[in-house]
């Protein structure tokens, strides 16, 4: 055999192995995609939402979630002071309590959040919160965004500050057990 024909046979074997690996990978990806779509369709067809006293119940193949919306919010109730003179944004749809029931596992927690705005600068608001919340973790998020956090007693409290549209926006939130919120 001539050297050029031997090199060409070796290249064909190498190219055939590469093609086999690529085809196998494509088959695995296709099967995974089909399985994911099938699982998504199964879940979508087997999820129901029904009205219940004080909220909604979402039933899934894995368990249920009860969602109760709240109408009143008092940040002082969970230990976060409101910046003096800040005005509450009118959107009051940011209060909810979630109750998960997955067979033997039953967990309840609530998410409470509200937004306030002020004409004071973000630096002034940040300095006020640093003075009022000295033990909270402080993090600068870039682009003038600042966040204070405290995790304690099974829940997390957050104050987020940012400037936008000529006003300073102050987000207050608490996530944890309903008794702590």
Four-point Cα dihedral 63, 177, 88, 137, nearest 10:
-120
- Per-residue pLDDT reduced to its tens digit, 83-135: 999 988 776 555 555 666 666 666 666 777 788 999 999 999 999 999 999 88
Torsion of CA 130, 71, 88, 142, to 10 degrees: 50
Element (H, E) at 45: helix 3-45
pLDDT tens by residue, 13-57 = 566 788 888 999 999 999 999 999 988 888 788 888 888 776 777
- What CA–CA distance (Å, rounded) separates 49 from 74? 29
């Amino acid at each position: 055999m001539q050297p050029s024909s031997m090199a060409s046979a070796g290249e064909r074997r190498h190219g055939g192995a590469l093609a086999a690996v690529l085809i196998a990978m494509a088959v695995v990806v296709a099967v995974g995609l089909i399985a994911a779509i099938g699982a998504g369709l199964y879940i979508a067809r087997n999820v129901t939402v029904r009205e219940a006293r004080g909220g909604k119940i979402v039933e899934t193949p894995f368990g249920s979630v009860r969602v109760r919306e709240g109408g009143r919010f008092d940040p002082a109730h969970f230990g976060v002071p409101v910046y003096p003179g800040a005005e509450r944004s009118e959107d009051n749809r940011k209060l909810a309590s979630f109750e998960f029931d997955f067979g033997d596992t039953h967990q309840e927690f609530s998410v409470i959040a509200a937004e306030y705005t002020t004409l004071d600068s973000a630096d002034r608001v940040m300095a006020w919160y640093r003075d009022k919340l000295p033990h909270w973790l402080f993090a600068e998020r870039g682009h003038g965004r600042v966040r204070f956090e405290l995790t304690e007693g099974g829940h997390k409290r957050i104050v987020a500050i940012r400037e936008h549209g000529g006003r300073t926006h102050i987000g207050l939130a608490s996530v944890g057990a309903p008794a702590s919120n």
